[in-house]
Amino acid sequence: MATARNLRSGLMTGRFTAEQLASAQPRRQWGHVLAVALATVVVATGCAAARPVQPTARQCSDTPEHAASTFLRGLAQFDVKLLRAVVPEHVSLFGVFGDGDVERGRAVVRQALDHSELRRGNEVDSSYSLLEVNDREGSGEKEIVVERRDRVFLTGENMREVEQVYRRPFLVRFDLGRNCILTVIPLGPEWVRVV
């Protein structure tokens, strides 16, 4: 069975086996939920070339808020269909995080997945929720605030479970006519711990 570590490694290198993805179960052994979701995205979307961000012809969602919520749910459930439902067909899912640039998107995803507790050898379960959606001058951009709740399973002599809560704002660019997500850009250098 695949572990959170080798899935994170696969995400970094872009190499996964079908068995790793087929064995994906949302449980404690997986560590970081977002890592598995984005690993699924890597395999499902491949290494598409960077494409310019363009409006789409189909309706993605009723509102930008619903699109953002669906995107987070797709990440949490490892559901490429949900992710694809709110992103235009011609946009790579990594490209969403890199403003159309797949390689930059990978770097953003790596940075977003980085967790100090995983580097220390501890296991982490994370869940994400949408806290706020704020307009930015009606330009098709909205600032969203995402909350990440981590359950950290400390190993070694101090074996116990600790809860940590982080928040981070993101700038999300939408095609407002269709409510499709075109780009997701983290604001600020890292997740800010609030609890």
**pLDDT digits 0-9 by tens, 134-193:** 988 767 899 999 999 999 999 888 899 999 999 999 999 999 889 999 999 999 888 999
* Tally of structural domains, the chain: 1
Say how far apart CA 181 and CA 72 lie, in whole Å. Answer: 12
SS3 for 68-96, per residue?
Answer: HHHHHHHHHCCCHHHHHHCCCCCCCHHHH
72 has pLDDT over 70: yes
The model scores a pTM over 0.85? no
Residue 38: which domain range? 4-193
pLDDT (average), residues 120-147: 89
Cα R_g (the chain), whole angstroms: 16
pLDDT (average), residues 85-93: 91
The distance of Cα 32 from the centroid of its chain, to the nearest Å, equals 11
**pLDDT digits 0-9 by tens, 11-59:** 444 444 444 434 443 333 334 444 444 444 444 444 444 444 455 568 9
- Long-range contacts from 23-26, C-beta under 8 angstroms, 24+ separation: 24/78, 26/77, 26/78
